[in-house]
Amino acid sequence: MFFRRKQPIDERLERWRSLAARLELSDAADVAERIRRWLDLDVASLAPIFALHRDGLPTAYLFDAVSERRGPSGVVTVVRTICMVRSEDPIARVAFRASPRQDKVLESLQASRSGAVRLALPNDPAFDADVSVYARDADGVTLLLTPPVRAVLRRLLVERAAPDVSLVVGERHVVTGFAGGAEGALETLEQVLADTLSLVSLLPAVQRAHDELSPDDLLDLG
């Protein structure tokens, strides 16, 4: 009698399937190449990819970016779990990146790679001590960092305690990524998704409110 050997269960994929069923996500493997193009990703694979569609909201893509790195001890597989919200309408006119506060030398390197500067926010020293925001247009991004936006950024980048977390805001997308693959990563992803969607709602509203200010209002703010 012959017995068929059971195939090993990929626990990471099983956790993804469970999340997809709970949140009613749809399979989005067909957009892998578009995601690579949108985000300029050079990784071994993007899988699995799921999409969250809700009436009145931009589409959120949730996926793992899996790459391999060679080192002295051999090949190491690196998994980065990513939440990307893509909108047809502009989210922010000015781009910026944000991450938990780092050593000043590392922050300088981060900024120099893209010709950005680390924003200083002396009016909110607690936020400034916990979160680093990098931008080329410092004035334009500072206008977006209202108290509600800063509260979401701090929750997303600090209070969630997602490992190696970072955020990128572009004109039509907001991307949050963190070191994934481990048990508990997708529970963190659900929280990250909620915060990322909050930013996608807040940032255009802040921009519209600023656009509606009169010259006298701007003088008062100065």
Cα separation, 199 vs 29, whole angstroms: 25
Q: Domain coordinates of the chain in residue numbers?
A: 11-212
Q: What is the pLDDT of residues 173-188, one digit of tens each?
A: 999 999 998 889 999 9
Lowest-pLDDT range of 18-27, 85-94, 132-141, 203-212:
203-212
pLDDT at position 76: 85
205 near 152, Cβ under 8 Å?
Answer: no
- Mean pLDDT, range 217-222, rounded to an integer: 44
pLDDT band at 9 (very low <50, low <70, confident <90, very high): low
Residue 5 has pLDDT above 80, yes or no: no
The token pair that represents 192 in the structure block: 């990250």
CA distances from 62 to 44, 49, 169 (A): 17, 6, 16
Altogether, the residues listed in the chain come to a count of 222
Indicate the angle between helix axes 185-211 and 11-23, nearest 10 degrees. 50
b/e map 34-60, b = 16+ CB within 10 Å: ebeebbeeeeeebebbbbbeeeeebbb
% of the chain surpassing 90 pLDDT:
69
Closest CA to 106 of 72, 81, 134: 134
Q: What is the mean pLDDT of the chain?
A: 89
Q: What is the pLDDT of residues 35-52, one digit of tens each?
A: 999 988 887 799 999 999
Residue 216 has pLDDT above 90, yes or no: no
